Chains A and B, each alone.
Chain A
């Protein structure tokens, strides 16, 4: 069964500090992995997308890494800001030919940045 596990479930950090969120998946065959940011009561917004051949992808203060061999990804947030407080969701997609399977969502990490 395809699964995506995220850790930690929740995290509190002080403004200006860095943090790293983890994502482990068992989706196979694998096409790509995405990180989304979701503010409370809003729709998810895509931060990064990586295929199996990519190791690192950056978007401003967000840097995602991918190890396709160990099926692990991380999202590193640098110099956190209060506006980073949100849920971060890891989403894995199977290969395009496997039309019967859709995206598999992780449970998300709820990040709170305090002043």
Chain B
């Protein structure tokens, strides 16, 4: 298995909802990442997990809560989001931090 999978592909949620984005890889990678990407902009790093431990949090609001249950899974829990949080959320993984990252297809999130 040489890919990163993300679910769901699309998500529409209200500002009072609680939802979760899921990311999975079975390449044995020990670094996993969450990015946020707005239209026509490059991805912006949100979180980095290295060996299942949060190593980087790029000043992301607390309404985004990451979780790494094991070396293959990465979740992003969403609560009380704002319309400006609507974006493409990309998950990536790499063998180790700063090595080539493999991106998932993304989850397109719309907050109403």
Q: Which residues from chain A sit less than 8 Å from chain B, CB to CB?
A: 31, 34, 36, 41-46, 49, 89, 93-94, 96, 99, 102-103, 105-108, 110
Given contacts A103-B101, A110-B40, contact A43 B106 (CB under 8 A): yes
Using CB atoms and an 8 Å cutoff, list the residues of chain B in contact with chain A: 4, 6, 40-43, 45, 48, 55-56, 88, 90, 92, 97-98, 100-106, 108
Interfacial chain B residues near A94, Cβ < 8 Å: 98
Contact call B100/A105, Cβ cutoff below 8 A = no
Q: Please indicate the chain A residues that have their CB under 8 angstroms from the CB of B103 in the complex.
A: 36, 43-45
Q: How far is the CA of A103 from the CA of B55 in the complex (A)?
A: 14
List B contacts of A106 (CB < 8 A).
42
Listed A/B pairs (16) with beta-carbon separation below 8 Å: A36-B103, A42-B106, A43-B92, A43-B103, A43-B105, A46-B100, A46-B102, A96-B98, A102-B45, A102-B98, A103-B45, A103-B101, A106-B42, A107-B41, A107-B42, A108-B42
Closest B residue by C-beta to A90: B42
A102 touches B56 (CB 8 A): yes
A41 neighbours in B (Cβ, 8 Å): 88, 106, 108
Task: Count how many pairs of residues, one from A and one from B, have CB atoms less than 8 Å apart in the complex.
Answer: 47
What are the residues of chain A within 8 A of B48 when measuring CB–CB?
Answer: 102
Residues of A within 8 A of B106 (CB): 41-43
Please determine whether A31 and B100 come into contact, CB atoms closer than 8 angstroms: no
CB distance from A41 to the nearest CB of B (A): 6
Q: How far is it, in angstroms, between the C-alpha of A43 and the C-alpha of B56 when the chains are bound? A: 21
Provide the residues of chain A in CB contact with B42, threshold 8 Å.
89, 105-108
Cβ contacts under 8 Å, A44 to chain B = 43, 90, 103
A93–B108 contact, CB under 8 A?
no
Measured CA separation A15–B100 after assembly (Å) = 30
Residue on A nearest B102 in the bound complex, by CB: A46
User: Who on chain B is nearest to A39 by CB?
Assistant: B105
A93-B98, A106-B42 provided; 12 other pairs, C-beta below 8 A? A36-B103, A41-B88, A43-B6, A43-B105, A44-B103, A45-B103, A46-B102, A99-B55, A102-B56, A102-B98, A107-B41, A110-B40
